[in-house]
Structure 1
Amino acid sequence: METLSKLLFNQCSRFMIEEARPLERYLFENHFVRPCEKDIIRSLGNYQNKDGGFGHGIESDFVLPNSSPMATSVGLRHLSKLDHHEEAMEMIKHAVAYLENIYRADRKGWVTVPEDVNDYAHAPWWTFDTSTGMTIIDKFWGNPSAELIGYLYKYRHQVTRLDVDDLLETAIRHLNETDNFESFHEIYCYIDLYETLPAKQANRIKKKLTVAIGQLVNTNPNDWDTYVAKPLDFIRRSQETFGMAMADIHKNLDYIIKQIRNHGVIKPNWSWREEYEAQWEIAEAEWTGLGTLLALLALDQFNRIDKT
């Protein structure tokens, strides 16, 4: 079984330390180099606004400085792994308050971004349509509402106004009543929900998640240079394989090693250069840092890095 050579791993390491943005650099260092969880928390603090929500381009495809539910889901995704730190819990408390303040009762959840996302550089799929009151991403309710509900359930002691149990039932019902799945991003959010729940509740959605992933995962390596959902895109959010074959998972790991051998890093396979060329150059570099980090974490999870 092929592994990422020490030479290539060291090459990626230099890139992560010297060229990735601070958040991904500290996440890399914390896993591979030295414990630095407080550096991660401080880095996340640069993206949190006074209202408790996150913005400032933490999700690199839109640079809106103001808070949004989508950006806040990214912030909470990281903070939920660091909640043994008092500083992280304080940030989580303010993020929960923000989510309560902007909750949409008519939607029983949230829309991804506010209208002022249009005033800043962004990928076309994040354009807010004033006629519908949402982006095209919001066609799929669970992205990010399912994920956000998971954090509210986990930190329910911080919730003061919303019925967390009712929200969870809404999320579970929405998933279990769906038969044909179209959005792998929505399922990523449901996997994040799954990971926050106690076993009894998580088991209520595991079977349907397995069905959804079976419909959405692309197992053809010839397609992986395009924007499709690969096996590791689901696994990196969970230790579960959800019925995916280990042979396909290892093909995906082989593909990552090949990409690093050919390019030295993992670059995004999408672009919005035509809309905002200068800002895309920044976003592309940030996505390269995140993509390379996720690739190295996946390879390490399956013992596919030669560190000797």
Structure 2
Amino acid sequence: MNKIGANVFQNTAQSIKRYARPLESAIFQHYFFDGTENEIVNELKKYQNEDGGFGHGIESDFRLPHSSPMATSIGIRLLSEIDRLEDAKEMIAAAIGYLETSFNSDRNGWLAVPKEVNDFPHAPWWHYNEDDEMTIIDKNWGNPSAEVLAYLYRYKDYVKRLDIEKLIEYAISYIESKEEFNSEYEIFCYIKLYEVLPENLQMRLEEVMSLAIEQVIVYDTKQWHEYVPTPVDFVSSINSNRFEVSESKLNENLDFLINQLQSNGKINPPWGESYYEGDLKEAYNEWIGVLSLKTLITLDRFNRIEK
């Protein structure tokens, strides 16, 4: 089994130190060394607003300072890794409060971002279309609504207004009714939901999620340098449900990531640098930090780092 050794790990660590935001640096230090969870909390506090939601560019491709459901889902995702801390619990409770107030009853879910996103630097896929009253992201209901529901279900003790059980049933029925899938990000959100549900509801999701993944996953190794959904995007650790993803291709994908780090000492955004000009320029380097850290954590969760 191919693994990364100390030299490759150190080269990648140097890239994270060079490119990453303090947030990702704090996560890296905690995950691999002796950094404290409190350091992560302190960095996340910089992204949380008084209304409980998250903003301020926590999702690097839109720099909206105001709260949005998408940014808030990212904030809670990171907090959920350290939710034994009282500060983290308080932040999660406040974020849940924001998500309840931003619920869109007409959609029976959440829109990713408000129209004010257009007033700040953002990548084109985050542009709010006034005619559609949504972004292109919102064409698929589950992104981010399925992931948002995952956190509302996990932290249901903080929920005061919404009927979580009813919304979970809606989410499952929605994906069960689909026959064609074209958004890997919607599936990623459903994987987050799957992970927190009881076994009887997981069983309802497994077949349709396997079908969905089969329609969007790219097994062609020649395309993995491009911006495509690969096996490790759907299976994040040894213990994760495989959803019928090819085991051999999963291992090839891990080898591919190792080769990337061996060659470059970092992971560059596969969608390229052309979108990052002017006030959005710094986002490109932030993504190097995010993706390099994510790759190291993924390799560690598959025992692909020499200890």
TM over 0.5: yes
Runs of 4+ in 1 over 6 A off after TM superposition: none
Q: Which residue of 2 aligns with 1:175?
A: 175
Number of aligned residues: 306
- Aligned in 2, Cα 1:264/1:272: closer, same or farther, shift over 3 Å? closer
Superposed, which structure 2 residues align to 1:117-136 within 5 Å? 117-136=117-136
1:232-263, Cα deviation, whole Å (9 max, x unpaired): 01112872211112110111111111111222
2:80 and 2:44 map into 1 onto residues whose CA distance is 12
Task: Give how far 1:201 is off.
Answer: 2.3
Tell me if structure 2 keeps the 8 A contact 1:217–1:231. yes
SS in structure 2 at match of 1:81: helix
Q: Percent identity?
A: 44
Residue 241 in 1 paired to residue 253 in 2? no
1:195-224, Cα deviation, whole Å (9 max, x unpaired): 122223222212211111122111111011
Task: Give how far 1:272 is off.
Answer: 6.2
* Coordinate RMSD, CA, aligned: 1.5
Residue 222 in 1 paired to residue 222 in 2? yes
1:80 and 1:202 map into 2 onto residues whose CA distance is 20
Tell me if structure 2 keeps the 8 A contact 1:123–1:272. no
1:200 and 1:68 map into 2 onto residues whose CA distance is 32
SS in structure 1 at match of 2:281: helix
Q: Which residue of 2 aligns with 1:84?
A: 84
Residue 26 in 1 paired to residue 15 in 2? no
Tell me if structure 1 keeps the 8 A contact 2:37–2:82. yes
Superposed, which structure 2 residues align to 1:254-293 within 5 Å? 254-271=255-272, 273-274=274-275, 277-293=277-293
- TM-score (ref. length: structure 2): 0.95
* Unaligned segments of structure 2, at least 5 residues: none
1:198 and 1:32 map into 2 onto residues whose CA distance is 31
SS in structure 2 at match of 1:77: helix
- TM-score (ref. length: structure 1): 0.95
Task: Give how far 1:123 is off.
Answer: 0.6
* Unaligned segments of structure 1, at least 5 residues: none
Q: Which residue of 1 aligns with 2:70?
A: 70
1:246-302, Cα deviation, whole Å (9 max, x unpaired): 11011111111111122210010114645x513343111111111111111121122
1:255 and 1:279 map into 2 onto residues whose CA distance is 33
- Aligned in 2, Cα 1:133/1:113: closer, same or farther, shift over 3 Å? same
Tell me if structure 1 keeps the 8 A contact 2:273–2:284. no
Superposed, which structure 2 residues align to 1:54-203 within 5 Å? 54-203=54-203
SS in structure 2 at match of 1:252: helix
Q: What amino acid does structure 1 have at the position aligned with 2:242?
A: T
1:268 and 1:28 map into 2 onto residues whose CA distance is 19
Tell me if structure 1 keeps the 8 A contact 2:20–2:286. yes
- Aligned in 2, Cα 1:272/1:64: closer, same or farther, shift over 3 Å? farther
Q: Which residue of 1 aligns with 2:231?
A: 231
